């Protein structure tokens, strides 16, 4: 502003020069705030995705364990010899090892 005053510009010319500058500064500040908001939003979204993936893995492990128990009960009732638990253990290991962000 001091620069414009030193140039002894008329008030209308001064307004024409400062008004766009002020608008640019306001737009820049608004843009920065929007970007910061978007970054915070993305961080929240990423955290929610991680939480949901962990919940999904937990539910899948519970389902595998429940089905294993049901199969064990069916084998017991039918007087069948159970096979090894390797399939169930492998299924649980696969569920735990899945990393969706790599």
pLDDT in tens, the chain (102 residues): 444 454 554 555 555 555 565 656 666 667 777 777 777 778 888 888 888 888 988 898 899 889 888 988 888 888 777 766 677 777 777 777 766 555
Q: What is the 3-state secondary structure (H, E, C) of 69-101?
A: HHHHHHHHHCCCCCCCCHHHHHHHHHHHHCCCC
Domain assignments of the chain as residue spans, ordered by start? 10-97
Q: CB burial class (10 A; 0-12, 13-18, 19+) of residue 11? A: exposed
The predicted model scores a pTM of 0.52
Contact between 31 and 39 under an 8 Å Cβ cutoff? The reply is no
């Amino acid at each position: 502003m001091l620069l414009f005053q030193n140039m002894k510009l008329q008030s209308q010319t001064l307004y024409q020069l400062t008004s766009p500058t002020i608008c640019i500064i306001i737009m820049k500040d608004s843009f920065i705030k929007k970007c910061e908001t978007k970054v915070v939003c993305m961080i929240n979204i990423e955290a929610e995705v991680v939480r949901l993936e962990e919940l999904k893995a937990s539910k899948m492990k519970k389902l595998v364990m429940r089905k294993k128990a049901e199969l064990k009960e069916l084998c017991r009732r039918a007087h069948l010899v159970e096979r090894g638990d390797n399939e169930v253990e492998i299924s649980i290991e696969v569920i735990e090892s899945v990393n969706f962000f790599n």
